[in-house]
Structure 1
């Protein structure tokens, strides 16, 4: 093929070459198949091998063959990942590629050798930063344009010298593609970061929910089983005394605690399902089932409160009542619920023990659980012995919750 018939192909390469160079190697569209990245390079190489002449083992034919091989290797190297090619090495490699492309254009007498310059300069716009990319594009235009202008090779009178100048134009399209690809990768990176953050948030939510379930399970199992165990131990000890009335009393209390445990299990299910519970009614039922009638005092106008507030206040009251039954059996218990303008206050007081305290250790998680619940609601809690008044020698728990 002569140069005179190759001009339309050069124009076609100018139109389509730059669009393909960004598809190679690390400059390809994310997720693009490797064979799609290599296809333009293979087409250029095959086209050059088919059309560039002369080719031989001596004289100008050998020079054309060597330069053709250098251009093919240089063009294929654009598929190397950027991490494997340092910037200085890339600059030297691409500069040599521009010189080799101009040299091939000058030595060969026919064929589409100019395609190497178009595709390589387009890749320069993607691979290098703006200043060196523009400098190499200008070098390509000067060298290729000079070869054709001064007619340094055979049959160059068939090609306009302005064709050589246009070999630097694809660098602009390459630079645009570089900016677009960077924007795409930045968006992908941001999406991946957002996904990682979402996964971390999901893990945190799971851990928080596990903590809540652990507190609820502790409230139901540890409290209920500890109270039932105390009554059964008391009944076992009373059997040896022969006092059947007290044995029956202890047994009845154990049965009552079993029933209360079933109610607490129901409360736990409500809490896990985020069902709403009536606070005052639930507190009253809890106190009565624990044997403390008319122990609740409500101050202020009762109002509906969010479900988490109701659930956690009930759990705090349950913990305080369980501790009172364990450490101050027979002691008087009083519960105060105060509705203020912006807060709710729950106070559970118990007097000193009225009968012998059965030895036994709790789980140690009760007060920790109460503090966690109050912290989740943004409130405060105090717990400690009563040092003065009618309940001196007893214990007081006070929780203040906003809402």
Structure 2
């Protein structure tokens, strides 16, 4: 039973096994079968018409030239799977053909065996065969010139080159083009793979940015809504409930506006939606005032201190990161801080913008909103993207007592790092 070789199969590959028995290693390619049949048929026709390459040999009958012809025709079946073996045996068949009346088909099929040995053989053979055939051509030319002492002996060298050296040289060119095409294909596949990896990373980064932006924009409002709705449900006082509902309505409207802004940023192709500008440091006063209103019922008092000497505008990513850090820190204070001051401080030390938010650390009575820890992760991601540093954790206040402090240092100039 035979079996087809897979594409790209090289000589020397192991035999296939089918149905528990060892099979032949290949089935000849249909083109190789066609070459063998045409070569054999053409050679027989040339012999029948008496078209020989040489005169009659006294010691051999004319039909003997059919033996090398049959051998070389059979070797055509091995031109893809065992090209070097075919070339070695074909060389002996060609030499034997010189002692007969000769057949043109035998010579032509031998040139194809040389071509196939370079094209389909091992890389070492592809380098060695052209050099070998060139040396053989030179040796034959010089030898016959020395023997005949006639310039017509150069024709023998030309024939030798046409039979051996030129087919190998052509095969080298074809093989180089084929290898270059394969290299280009692999390079294109690698480029496509890298592009897909870059696309996946970009999608992941964009999803992370969207999640971080959504959390920072909405968490503050939802935390205030959760705390005041719990207070309205748990305290049976009309004034308290009315005040809580007012805060809930205000945060609902603001949260809806923030959501619309985010949707506007995502719908870049929707001309009907005009996304608002990104928050800046000049908006911190309004942010702290809103937090002061939301936290009044929890015993928190929010204070904003801007200690910067120069209060000019900074790079948009820096101002947005600082704003979001303050926003998330105020949200966390609203959720977890004990009654007392919540201080927001801005400062600038050289090329670094300092953002610090501190609140009283302790147990607080009354309603509290749960936390997920995503806010701290988002703050660290924002600071890391800018090459800054951030610390968040308990600390000791100057006048005594424990506080929770978030302190971030953001470089205001490109290439400056807080690390």
Residues 1:114 and 2:107 are matched in the alignment: yes
Task: Kindly indicate whether structure 1 or structure 2 has the higher relative contact order, using CA contacts under 8 Å at least 6 residues apart.
Answer: 1
Give the whole-Å Cα distance in 2 for the aligned partners of 1:247 and 1:183.
Answer: 78
SS in 1 for 2:397: coil
Show the 5 A alignment for 1:200-239. 200-239=197-236
Tell me if structure 2 keeps the 8 A contact 1:99–1:140: no
Aligned pair count reads 349
Give the whole-Å Cα distance in 2 for the aligned partners of 1:207 and 1:45.
Answer: 61
Task: Report the equivalent of 1:250.
Answer: 244
Q: Alpha carbons of 1:41 and 1:26: their partners in 2 closer, same or farther (altered >3 Å)?
A: farther
Task: Report the equivalent of 2:160.
Answer: 165
Instruction: Tell me which protein shows more helix as a share of its residues.
Output: 1
Q: Alpha carbons of 1:160 and 1:218: their partners in 2 closer, same or farther (altered >3 Å)?
A: same
Give the whole-Å Cα distance in 2 for the aligned partners of 1:130 and 1:394.
Answer: 78
Structure 2 unaligned residues grouped into runs of 5+: 1-6, 10-28, 50-59, 148-153, 269-274, 294-301, 413-419
Give the whole-Å Cα distance in 1 for the aligned partners of 2:276 and 2:95.
Answer: 79
Give the whole-Å Cα distance in 1 for the aligned partners of 2:180 and 2:216.
Answer: 53
Tell me if structure 1 keeps the 8 A contact 2:118–2:126: yes
SS in 2 for 1:169: helix
Show the 5 A alignment for 1:355-394. 356-389=365-398, 392-394=401-403
Show the 5 A alignment for 1:3-402. 46=38, 49-52=41-44, 53-54=46-47, 64-80=65-81, 90-104=83-97, 106-107=99-100, 109-126=102-119, 127=121, 128-135=125-132, 161-162=156-157, 164-166=159-161, 167-170=163-166, 171-239=168-236, 243-266=237-260, 268-269=262-263, 277-291=278-292, 295-328=304-337, 331-351=340-360, 356-389=365-398, 392-402=401-411
Tell me if structure 2 keeps the 8 A contact 1:102–1:140: no
Tell me the CA shift for residue 399 of structure 1: 0.9
Tell me if structure 1 keeps the 8 A contact 2:216–2:327: yes
**Stretch deviating more after TM superposition (224-233 or 284-293):** 284-293
Give the whole-Å Cα distance in 2 for the aligned partners of 1:221 and 1:353.
Answer: 25
Q: Alpha carbons of 1:142 and 1:393: their partners in 2 closer, same or farther (altered >3 Å)?
A: same
What whole-Å deviation, never above 9, does each CA across 1:188-246 have from its counterpart, x for those lacking one? 3333223322221221222222222222233344443333122111100013xxx2111
Give the whole-Å Cα distance in 2 for the aligned partners of 1:133 and 1:114.
Answer: 18
SS in 1 for 2:396: coil
What whole-Å deviation, never above 9, does each CA across 1:33-74 have from its counterpart, x for those lacking one? xxxx98799578636623553269xx9677545533432343
Q: TM-score, normalised by structure 2?
A: 0.68
Tell me the CA shift for residue 395 of structure 1: 2.0
